[in-house]
Structure 1
Amino acid sequence: MTQALRRGGTLVGSEPWAKAALAVAVLTLGVFGFVYLQHALALVLFPYDWDQGEGYDAWSAWLIDRGQWPYSGNQAFPYYSSNYPPLWSYVVSIVMAWAGPGLASGRAVSTIAAVGCAAVAGSAVWFQTRTAWAGLGAAGLVFASPYVFHTTPLARVNALTVLFALLGVWAFERPTNRRLAWGTLALLLALFTKQTAADAAVACLGFVLLTRPRAGLAVSIVLGAAGFSLLAAFNVLTGGAFWLNVVSGNANPFEARQLFDYAVNFALIHPLPLALAAWEAASAMRRRAWDPWTLYFLASGVAALGVAKLGAGESYFLGFVASGAVLASRRLVRLLASPPITRGRPVWAVAALLLVAGQAVLYAHGPLALGGVLVDRGLQAPLLGRTPTAKDRQAGDAIVAAIRRLPGPALSEDPSFAVVAGRPVVANTTHLRNLYDAGLWDPTPLVADLQAKRYDTVVLNAQLYPQPVLDAIGRHYYLAQTVQLNGFTYQVFYPGAD
């Protein structure tokens, strides 16, 4: 590919007009990278949930550090289970062994993983093109997406999943036996971080089956056997709780309107890289120039349709963003090497700068969302689009103080408040609701606990518990305090007279 990008022995990108345009584009993407890192550091230092579910993922890591499985039948106190495979929790537990429970370890691991995602995307493009600006551009496109800004610095499994997936795709790019072995391991790690990494596995296996059928069959057998063996082992070791929580518990209903809203939103925010990536993918498919990045782009685009699931969000597009960054950068290198572009020179430079400026406006988020046309357009921007402030910290501290007024356990919809207050986490709110809606969880024991006022404090914000639990709280607890934090009204309840 490198030879195709050269003209007369000189890279087009080395000409003055191209240098100026590319420097502006790369610097613009660099600003987004700086904004991301500043936001991620602020989150690491902020001890309270910024996204519903962070505290549960982090608590699963703490349980593993304590030598406990984060899976149960959910029918006895503390009614807690994770709904993800255990790898992310295990990695975070290594940090928690010296840092203690809380969100900081999980957020730090996820941030490092997100930086790794950008590094892998950039390195893959550099090795393909031997063009530094293209590699930097691919890395910058990962950081520039508001979807990446919103979801990857959180204590969630998503960034590490995509990192392992990208490493697998990169390894399969040159399918030697050694690289296939490393790539298969990376895919296995991705699948046991989050099940949605199946898109990368499908892409990689499809590529090697097309290019090296015998090796592809062998890799498919090895990956399948290893995956099913681990699944069976986890299920046996947890008495069936792994299947209940990680497989059955994630079979959520689909909402067509949610799919439509996210698909339109993603396309409106990412038009330039999406168009370039689609162009590159279509060209590769037309030429039958199979490569795992093209197949991963297509597979992750299909997998992103899972955003229609109840409770899904922008994180379902992360693989699509990363693979799209690779293909878009590759296509841009091809464009700059094409005769119409090289003849146009300054005219094309101006056009390129205008396109970059327009895309940068659509990418605005965090401190760059200054108002007017510079607004964060992501659907999760109202909750995840800003950085925590001192006022947010004070609000969280007020909730913790309310929990500490009474000595007993707390039932907190966002569990980080209980953890900071020194209480154990009780119940995984949305997971129990999903199980309840699927007929897989009986709320009677938890309702009985509430009737007996076993919990000295109950903290609600979005009221995501199953309805019988909410009804029991309303009957047996009274509202003692409300606190405003990140767009939510947190309600603190104490036991009351029936």
Structure 2
Amino acid sequence: MSEITELRNSLDVQPRWTYIAYLLIGLALIVFIGYFIIYNIYAFSLFRFPFDFDQGEGFELMDTVLFSQGQWPYQDNNNYPFYSSNYPPVFHLVIVPLIWLFGPQYWTGRVVAYIGTLITAVAIGYAVQRESRRIWLSILVGLAFLASNYVYHVGPLFRQHMFMVMFETLAVVLVTVVVQREEETGKRNNLGLLVVMVLLLLAGYTKQLAYATVIAVFGFLFLRQTKRAVLWAIPFTAATALIFFIIDSATNGQWLTNTITANINPYIPAQGIGLFRQWFELHTILTIAAVALTFYQLYFERLSAYAIWFVIAAANGITAGKWGAGESYFATAIAASCILTGLVAGRLVTWSKSKGPRWYVAVMSIIALLFLVQANKVFHWPTHMPALRAIASAVGKPVETYVAPQTSCSAPRAAVAIPYVDSAGVGLLGRPPNDEDIEAGKRIAQFVSSGETAAFSEEAGFNFYAGRDVITNPTQLLNLYNNGQVDLTEMIGMLDNQQFDSVIFRAQFYPPPVLEVIGRRYETIELVEMNGFVYCLLSPREDIAPS
């Protein structure tokens, strides 16, 4: 019997006002579908934007280009072009065929990352559907994942994090299915478990942070099938280590230096605490529901893979306090909480049916209302279109936010109105880039083209657009410098001799000695604002001859 039929039958013995349950569920679906439309508006605006929207996207593109040319991106930062990657290869390798077909385009990685978030949402919905058998609930939890401010901000970017979350989610859902069916049939499914191991390997070699999900999956297997968990852990560890040492050997040790050493960053307690607080405030309903079901399973049932995953992923959120980390570090915990929320909601609906129509309608109504509360908490809304502006105004939300352009290399600027509102606070991710941003990027690329060399730039996009070499990966250099693992002699010598016709700053993430020599040998000649940042365009100082 369908959910709609069940509800109608219950309404036959209830006053007409009980139709409110059905209406509230419909309203919740409409709201989350609305967020999905917004997500697509944002994503497709990024697909057409040919420069970095988030700092570092261009370096992900550069990694992919190097792989497409049969080269490793794990290179010696001591020598020109002073470039290396600090991320594992899977995400970039997936994009390589698109680079072969279309060249070095930002949309290639953004589309792949975007598709990864859709697959994650479908996997979340499937996990709930196979237990609850309520399609409306499965749709809601899948869309709730995409509606998270954090997923919205980074999902369609050329970044590998959400692709890692996709593999993590698929692995946890599949291990749940495999173990449950084994317990039901009494037959081992080693092929299914092998696929789980492959998914975990892919997650880990997409981004190192997947270790939390690896711990969760093996922890679940250890609780259910201790001996088997140990037997599978041995070849999994061996395969992980073998891949690691093969890559490290092929890159003459640069893999270890750039993916491990370069990721040892200072910890900022205030950042970690602030992000934990924000994560809970934005995802209160999802988090409380996940915690409630986890405690229920702990005391009255067996811990599920989803509960273990949620606890470990949430605890791992503490790593968001590292310099260079951020909100995306909670995406795995959000995925787990969406599944647990769907499971607890499904159980409550099933329980309420046994208590009679009044309970059934009441529980359905409360669940719908809680999803609406969650939707309000994650409110994020671009208002650059009249219709979107009208909707924001109609629901009592602001229609613009005042944000001062961020600058590290010029005088502070006054706050300006931007057509975007976000409950996560003032930020620059989430606002769809516009034509003015594209023209600003082209202006900076033209500045690069006016010289004869590649720009010494904090972002790769301008050199890509101008057809020049990509020089440096600033945050990578800074991390290595702070860990005493880079020799800046050649780089500083080239800058001291003014061998670069242009320098481009956005945040001045370079090591202090690099900033010092640039300050002596180059001067700012133009400021260009793009995506809410002030870019400083520098040329060699004419009053000081090269050394």
TM-score range, shorter chain: over 0.9
Q: Over aligned residue pairs, what C-alpha RMSD do you find? A: 2.2
Bigger Rg, which one:
2
Q: Does 1:455 align with 2:474?
A: no
Give the match's secondary structure for 1:366.
strand
Counterparts of 1:182-197 in structure 2, within 5 Å, are: 182-197=195-210
Counterparts of 1:157-306 in structure 2, within 5 Å, are: 157-173=160-176, 174-175=178-179, 176-306=189-319
Q: Which sections of structure 2, spanning at least 5 residues, go unmatched?
A: 12-18, 180-188, 383-387, 399-420
Taking structure 2 as the reference length, the TM-score comes to 0.86
Closer, same or farther: CA 57–51 of 1 in aligned 2, 3 Å: same
Counterparts of 1:43-442 in structure 2, within 5 Å, are: 43-173=46-176, 174-175=178-179, 176-339=189-352, 343-344=358-359, 351-367=366-382, 370=392, 373=397, 375-378=421-424, 382-442=427-487
TM-superposed CA distance for 1:351, in Å, is 4.5
TM-superposed CA distance for 1:441, in Å, is 1.4
Closer, same or farther: CA 218–13 of 1 in aligned 2, 3 Å: farther
In structure 1, the residue matched to 2:402 is none
CA distance in 2, matches of 1:32, 1:46: 21
Q: Residue 52 of structure 2 contacts residue 461 of structure 2 at CA under 8 Å; is this kept in 1? A: yes
In structure 2, the residue matched to 1:42 is 45
Q: Residue 7 of structure 2 contacts residue 361 of structure 2 at CA under 8 Å; is this kept in 1? A: no
TM-superposed CA distance for 1:315, in Å, is 0.9
Taking structure 1 as the reference length, the TM-score comes to 0.94
* 1:424-471 Cα deviation digits (max 9, x unpaired): 111111111011111111222211110111211111011111111111
Q: Residue 430 of structure 1 contacts residue 465 of structure 1 at CA under 8 Å; is this kept in 2? A: yes
In structure 1, the residue matched to 2:490 is 445
Q: Residue 72 of structure 1 contacts residue 241 of structure 1 at CA under 8 Å; is this kept in 2? A: yes
CA distance in 1, matches of 2:254, 2:151: 32
TM-superposed CA distance for 1:14, in Å, is 8.3
Q: Residue 366 of structure 1 contacts residue 387 of structure 1 at CA under 8 Å; is this kept in 2? A: no
* 1:139-188 Cα deviation digits (max 9, x unpaired): 11111101000011100011110111111111111233221110000000
* 1:99-145 Cα deviation digits (max 9, x unpaired): 11131111111011111111111111111222211211121111110
Give the match's secondary structure for 1:480.
strand
Q: Residue 83 of structure 2 contacts residue 472 of structure 2 at CA under 8 Å; is this kept in 1? A: yes
TM-superposed CA distance for 1:349, in Å, is 5.4
CA distance in 2, matches of 1:178, 1:50: 41
User: Which residue type is aligned with residue 467 of structure 2?
Assistant: G
Q: Residue 42 of structure 1 contacts residue 388 of structure 1 at CA under 8 Å; is this kept in 2? A: yes
Closer, same or farther: CA 414–341 of 1 in aligned 2, 3 Å: farther
CA distance in 1, matches of 2:10, 2:220: 34
Q: Residue 132 of structure 2 contacts residue 347 of structure 2 at CA under 8 Å; is this kept in 1? A: no
Q: Residue 294 of structure 2 contacts residue 303 of structure 2 at CA under 8 Å; is this kept in 1? A: no
* 1:200-234 Cα deviation digits (max 9, x unpaired): 11111111111112221122112111101101111
User: Which residue type is aligned with residue 399 of structure 1?
Assistant: I
User: Which residue type is aligned with residue 32 of structure 1?
Assistant: Y
CA distance in 2, matches of 1:217, 1:287: 26
Q: Residue 409 of structure 1 contacts residue 454 of structure 1 at CA under 8 Å; is this kept in 2? A: no
User: Which residue type is aligned with residue 335 of structure 1?
Assistant: L
User: Which residue type is aligned with residue 270 of structure 1?
Assistant: H
User: Which residue type is aligned with residue 424 of structure 2?
Assistant: G
Q: Which sections of structure 1, spanning at least 5 residues, go unmatched?
A: none
Q: Residue 418 of structure 1 contacts residue 425 of structure 1 at CA under 8 Å; is this kept in 2? A: yes
Q: Residue 114 of structure 1 contacts residue 159 of structure 1 at CA under 8 Å; is this kept in 2? A: yes
Q: Does 1:465 align with 2:465?
A: no
Give the match's secondary structure for 1:337.
helix
CA distance in 2, matches of 1:290, 1:314: 27
Runs (4+) off by over 6 Å: 11-15
TM-superposed CA distance for 1:373, in Å, is 4.5
CA distance in 2, matches of 1:347, 1:64: 56
User: Which residue type is aligned with residue 465 of structure 1?
Assistant: Y
Closer, same or farther: CA 373–64 of 1 in aligned 2, 3 Å: same
Give the match's secondary structure for 1:493.
strand
CA distance in 2, matches of 1:341, 1:256: 50
Give the match's secondary structure for 2:428.
helix
Closer, same or farther: CA 437–250 of 1 in aligned 2, 3 Å: same
User: Which residue type is aligned with residue 304 of structure 1?
Assistant: G
CA distance in 1, matches of 2:519, 2:99: 36
Closer, same or farther: CA 12–313 of 1 in aligned 2, 3 Å: farther
TM-superposed CA distance for 1:333, in Å, is 1.3
Of 331-340 and 231-240, deviating more is 331-340
